[in-house]
Copies of this chain bind each other. A is one copy, B any other.
Amino acid sequence: MTTDGTGVPEGPLHGLRVLDLSRVLAGPYCTMILADLGATVIKVEHPDGGDEARGFLPMIDGASAYFAAVNRGKRSIALDLAADADRAIFQRLLAQADVLVENFRPGVMDRLGFGWPVLQARWPRLVVASISGFGQHGPYRERGAYDLIVQAMSGMMSLTGHPGQPPTRAGTSIGDLAASVFAANGIQAALLRRVRTGIGGRVDVAMLDCQVALLENAIARCLVDGQAPPPLGARHSGAAPFDAFRAADGWLVIAAGNDALFARLAQMLASPQWLADERFASRSARVAHQAALKALIEERLTTADVADWLPRLEQTGVPAGPIQDVAAVLNDPQLAARGLLAPVQGTALLAAHTPIRLDDTPWPTTLPPAPALDEHRAEILRLLDEGDTPR
């Protein structure tokens, strides 16, 4: 959906103006989604170095690849919100904005003089989104939160990994990113409401809330069992065989949770006797005896390599797949056919498009560059002076 000047149709949020005070990840990934969907995003950064993620590893050609991936397609203006002249510019930008996104700790915007009551009174059509670790209310509101902390406190880490092993987080910052994607939903919902009512609103998204909202059936399992669910490794809580299995040269995953798929798997592995085995006679029986079943399956699978098994599983219609590392992902034929990964213009970096395809239109073959600090100051000020709006 990103427009890259190559004739790709304008995105669905074309014309929408987003002021972005956010830093690092949870806020910037939210406004990246909005920018990829066609909105104009003006990143307002502190003149003293700007978004600290500009210094985050890894670097490519001397610039942060971390920053470039998440801030592509945005414009940058450096403003010191404690200085009168810059505050005046910021207020003129606010007057033209549809959305303001910030991820300071709760209270910072109030101290800057731009708290929600002030913004609401002066610019009632504005949608203000605040993304924070714990939310705008509650005993932990002023605490700092990082991905690791919300993965730990939300229960996510307690469900991840193998029993008896040291704790592990999910291998990507879903503590931040889930909040980003929910916040983008909240912003769009508030904009749709504004179409009806003419009034903006305040979106309050907490990283901790978002992780808990993604616990799926773990809360229900905890209530039913009367005790906290343990980590399951790669297993499923309510289906088997549904796990990672060893082949001769590595691991693969098989998801054959129902009776029909299990029967196909047993036939393919030349083990029809499993189907007559009481331990495996139903879904719940297989879950109860999943360790024994896994051992039997691995006894077969370790006779050949992953690359031998995957096409056979596919032919049999048993859902399965390789456990790919990131290097393999970069060469995955399905992702290539989808065009999901694209180079960021002017860099050696590949990044993923926001994964929303619209109207069967292919994604652009490149992603726009991230801005240098204050790169668009002149253009933004000129357009403000002309009474026009940067789009």
Contact = CB atoms under 8 A, between A and B. Distances in A.
A372 interface: no
Nearest to A232: B171
A26 B334 CA distance: 20
Given A140-B334, A168-B161, A326 B12 contact: no
Nearest to A179: B355
A303 interface: no
A233 interface: yes
A116 interface: yes
A271 to B, nearest CB: 21
A290 interface: no
Nearest to A58: B224
Interface residues on A, range: 35 or more
A183 to B, nearest CB: 8
Given A66-B217, A358-B201, A234 B189 contact: no
A356 interface: yes
Copies of this polypeptide in the complex: 2
B153 A322 contact: yes
A373 interface: no
A265 interface: no
A166 B352 contact: no
A104 interface: no
Interface of A: 1, 11-16, 25, 33, 37, 56-60, 65-66, 69, 116, 134-141, 143-146, 148-150, 152-162, 165-174, 176-179, 181-186, 188-193, 195-196, 201-206, 208-210, 212-225, 227-229, 231-234, 236-238, 242-244, 251-253, 255, 257, 284, 314, 317, 319-330, 332-335, 337-338, 340-341, 348-360
21 contacts: A1-B189, A14-B193, A15-B196, A37-B189, A58-B224, A60-B224, A144-B317, A148-B243, A156-B171, A160-B168, A161-B161, A165-B165, A168-B168, A174-B178, A188-B189, A188-B192, A191-B192, A213-B340, A213-B354, A215-B352, A223-B349
